[in-house]
Structure 1
Amino acid sequence: MKGGRTQHTFSPPVMEARRWIAGKEFPAERPLINVSQAAPMDPPPEALRAHIAETALTVPEAHLYGPVLGLPALRAELASRWTAKYGGQISSGQVAITSGCNQAFAAAVSAIAAEGDEVILPTPWYFNHKMWLDMQGVTAVALETNAALLPNIETAQSLITDKTRAIALVTPNNPAGVEYPSELVRAFFDLAREHGLKLIVDETYRDFDSRTGAPHPLFADPDWAETLIHLYSFSKAYRLTGHRIGAVITGAPLLAELEKFLDTVTICPNQLAQHAALWGMQNLDGWLAAERLKVLDRRTAIKECFPTLEARGWQLLGLGAYFAYLKHPFELSSLELAQKLVDEAHVLALPGIMFHPAGSNRGETEIRLAFANVNADQIATLFDRLEAYRPIS
């Protein structure tokens, strides 16, 4: 029997990694340290949970279909906050709410690209972006990054063809954690505009950027809406991962095309999630600021612990948001290493091959640590285990 579109891509990496620990038990004195998934594992703060419960009990329309592009109040709040954060002018008519940031990317690509078209992705890339392009018959053109894991404008320009429809950036980056400099993001915007392309900027981890102020100046450009497709996730900010709530900000004409996709796939975003996101933005600024500081403290802990690994030949390639991206010193492949670490060090991490094109030698030596759910003491233990690790042949 012939297969469908899904057979054109690989298995979900996080689900694949979970199979490595299925049925295995780890002793209490040496528990598994899971640094495989970049999502908060704690529930939303109690006040937000109480608001969700109250909404479920007292707002009847929260259980019905809502507007395809999202609640007007939430769209307006996001537009107002982003205008204040980034400068320029953003209207609610340029905002759509989606069922998670992955859906925002899927909707955007569906609106701008057809089978046989191309989208440029810097590597190491976010694997779900690659998977969606595969399933749509859109070619993911790998843009290899430099030693600092930053994409190069000249290299990107050399990859543009008459089939190119967009360049997609993730900053702070998943999987590498790197925060793209403001001037680099602007340069990619100018490159995209020059060639009539869209620039997709996924800022899922924006709330955990180490920098203050606007991370880029794109919204200050009076014609930003003709080129920019901005993606955001409420899930990381307010621990709403299971509620699936994200956003896309772009020109109103393109949103009309996205609306066709969103209406067909989900009809409307989760209503309770939208009320939760709105309440979170209006009431949890202080809480979110404290969460950011926790993430930055973990980032500092990794910097402080890393010299012991460096002495063993490891390299820290990228660090930021939820991620540390490392180069390992062993002869075995990153996939072999990741699988061995489960049984021999009780560490679950993702290998670099999951973030590169098939056959990339670069991915064989890299590994990602997602540290959102490990505290400073656990980070110290993690690095002790990695420092002491020697592969068992």
Structure 2
Amino acid sequence: MTPAPEGAGSAEARRLRPWNGAGGARIGAVDAPVIPHLAALARRHPNPWSLGQGVAFFPPPPQARAEVDAFWRSPSAHGYGPAAGLDPLVAAIGAKLTRENGFSGVGDDLRVLVTAGANMAFLTALLAITDPGDEVLLPLPWYFNHEMAVRIADCRPIGVPPAPGLRPDLAALEAAITSRTRVLVSVSPNNPAGIVYTPEELLALNRLATARGLWHISDETYEYFLYGGRRHQSPGAPASTRTITLGSFSKAYGMASWRVGYLLAPAELYPALLKVQDTNLICAPHVSQHAALGALVAGSDWPRRHLATLETHAGQLRAALLRLGSGVREIIGGEGALYFLVRLDTALDSLQMAERLVLEHGVVTLPGSAFGLAHGCWLRLSFGALSGDGLAHGLDRLVAGIAAILSDAPRSTPHEGG
């Protein structure tokens, strides 16, 4: 199985890659973000309902508010701070990674860097470990901000086709490695597919990266969002020398607007990471770091107390999709994170379907093309922000909207079905 072309899904992607020649060609090659594009369309509808952006329905824990209140009372809190992060937060993250994820040597052989979200952690890591023209392996479906960051770093994203069920294909990944390959990326629990890689899959990816001299960036943003008794595995634990682990407070603690995340990397890489951090950010905002410290006081019990509700909403969304009968060719997800990927039986491309759903029916979804799925009409649906109020009505709108569009569109061919 050969890697997907660099511009996988390019016929659709070009529609989200407007470039008027102003600025550099490197940024011109980066897709425009799909969420703002669809949000702008949603504003044309009097009553939009969103299954688009991946956020959880619950707020930050009260301990985060308490820490923020204390921050305001400290006269020394409003200056610059250490680039790595505030010492108490760095220590608390290190303790969490040791206790929950099984890492050893945190603070010595492994170092924590606090960033303005996990997306920034990913780009910081890329800038520290790659050179222009290096290749980065992204198992399909990729997370679109990862693909965008790879291009911004002047590297080449290589979308690697998955195994059945959109699971990572180890043989395909190994076959995709060239002399320019520098990084292998994994996301588990997965955005956008809503699947959870098994511990065996993750450890195999880590062994492959180590054996071939690659860096393995493991994005573990959704580590607590696990359903059906599944468990999380940090492939870099206990002390991999070729793994960079990413974490975030945005999803687990309802803190998306606070923009705080972190990475864990081998100590030898730390000077390079600090160069990038000091240039781009100096330090993560102190008020957000204090909120994160309070979130860690609340601990993993905070996100876990909401999992039963999320799992119920996931089941309701799946049941609604099944009402479409033969109009749905495949439903993947609901194992972890906040997502399903659904493949519809239509010759429409996924961006056309997403745009029609929001313009004609006021329902926001994300097109599979944004995640590198070039064939078939895939949509990503997020159940994270769903609530009891109006949930049944919203799901009815989703089903009715898809059914109406499918009724006047040609069916997919075998190739389009992927």
What is the TM-score with the length of structure 2 in the denominator? Answer: 0.85
Residue 60 (structure 1) aligns with: 75
- SS of structure 1 residue aligned to 2:297: helix
Q: What RMSD in Å do the two structures reach over aligned CA positions?
A: 2.1
Residue 375 (structure 1) aligns with: 387
Task: State the number of aligned residues.
Answer: 381
1:19 equivalent in alignment to 2:36: no
Which of 281, 284, 287 in structure 1 is aligned with 2:302? 287
Which of 229, 234, 245 in structure 1 is aligned with 2:249? 234
Residue 157 (structure 1) aligns with: 174
Name the CA shift for 1:237/1:133 in 2 (closer, same or farther; >3 Å): same
- SS of structure 2 residue aligned to 1:250: strand
1:124 equivalent in alignment to 2:141: yes
CA displacement at 1:115 relative to structure 2: 0.6
- SS of structure 2 residue aligned to 1:81: helix
Aligned 8 A contact 1:89 1:219 in 2 = no
Q: What are the residue-to-residue correspondences of 1:213-232 with 2, within 5 Å?
A: 215-216=232-233, 218-221=235-238, 223-224=239-240, 226-232=241-247
Name the CA shift for 1:23/1:311 in 2 (closer, same or farther; >3 Å): closer
1:274 equivalent in alignment to 2:289: yes
- Which deviations, in whole Å up to 9, do the C-alpha atoms of 1:76-103 show, x marking residues without a partner? 1111111121224141351111111001
Q: What are the residue-to-residue correspondences of 1:1-393 with 2, within 5 Å?
A: 3-4=23-24, 5-26=26-47, 32-40=48-56, 43-56=59-72, 58-93=73-108, 94-210=111-227, 215-216=232-233, 218-221=235-238, 223-224=239-240, 226-319=241-334, 320-356=336-372, 360=374, 362=375, 364-375=376-387, 378-388=390-400, 389-391=403-405
- Which deviations, in whole Å up to 9, do the C-alpha atoms of 1:316-353 show, x marking residues without a partner? 02223111110012232211111111133221111111
Residue 29 (structure 1) aligns with: none
CA displacement at 1:217 relative to structure 2: 5.5
Q: Distance in 1 between matches of 2:314 and 2:291?
A: 28
CA displacement at 1:109 relative to structure 2: 0.4
Aligned 8 A contact 2:123 2:153 in 1 = no
Q: Distance in 1 between matches of 2:262 and 2:268?
A: 16
Q: Distance in 2 between matches of 1:106 and 1:243?
A: 18
Amino acid in the other structure paired with 1:169: S
Amino acid in the other structure paired with 1:132: A
- SS of structure 1 residue aligned to 2:32: coil
- Which deviations, in whole Å up to 9, do the C-alpha atoms of 1:176-202 show, x marking residues without a partner? 111111100000000000011111110
Name the CA shift for 1:214/1:326 in 2 (closer, same or farther; >3 Å): closer
Q: Distance in 2 between matches of 1:119 and 1:351?
A: 23
CA displacement at 1:382 relative to structure 2: 3.9
Aligned 8 A contact 2:90 2:113 in 1 = yes
CA displacement at 1:136 relative to structure 2: 1.8
Moved more, 338-347 or 136-145: 338-347
- SS of structure 1 residue aligned to 2:113: strand
Structure with the higher helix share, 1 or 2: 1
Amino acid in the other structure paired with 1:324: F
CA displacement at 1:236 relative to structure 2: 1.1
Aligned 8 A contact 1:82 1:90 in 2 = no
Amino acid in the other structure paired with 2:328: G
Q: Distance in 2 between matches of 1:328 and 1:293?
A: 28
Q: For structure 2, which runs of at least 5 residues remain unmatched after alignment?
A: 1-20, 410-418
Moved more, 378-387 or 149-158: 378-387
Aligned 8 A contact 2:41 2:359 in 1 = no
CA displacement at 1:18 relative to structure 2: 1.1
Q: Distance in 2 between matches of 1:202 and 1:212?
A: 21
Q: Distance in 2 between matches of 1:214 and 1:186?
A: 14
Name the CA shift for 1:211/1:82 in 2 (closer, same or farther; >3 Å): farther
Name the CA shift for 1:114/1:72 in 2 (closer, same or farther; >3 Å): same
Amino acid in the other structure paired with 1:352: G
Identical residues among aligned pairs (%): 31
Q: For structure 1, which runs of at least 5 residues remain unmatched after alignment?
A: 27-31
- Which deviations, in whole Å up to 9, do the C-alpha atoms of 1:2-50 show, x marking residues without a partner? 6223212111111111121234313xxxxx2201111246642445324
Amino acid in the other structure paired with 1:351: P
- SS of structure 2 residue aligned to 1:74: helix
Q: Distance in 2 between matches of 1:214 and 1:91?
A: 22
- Which deviations, in whole Å up to 9, do the C-alpha atoms of 1:232-251 show, x marking residues without a partner? 10111222211110010110
Name the CA shift for 1:345/1:354 in 2 (closer, same or farther; >3 Å): same
Amino acid in the other structure paired with 1:89: S
Name the CA shift for 1:322/1:386 in 2 (closer, same or farther; >3 Å): same
- Which deviations, in whole Å up to 9, do the C-alpha atoms of 1:158-181 show, x marking residues without a partner? 000111111001111111111111
Aligned 8 A contact 1:68 1:268 in 2 = yes
Q: Distance in 2 between matches of 1:378 and 1:206?
A: 29
Amino acid in the other structure paired with 2:252: A
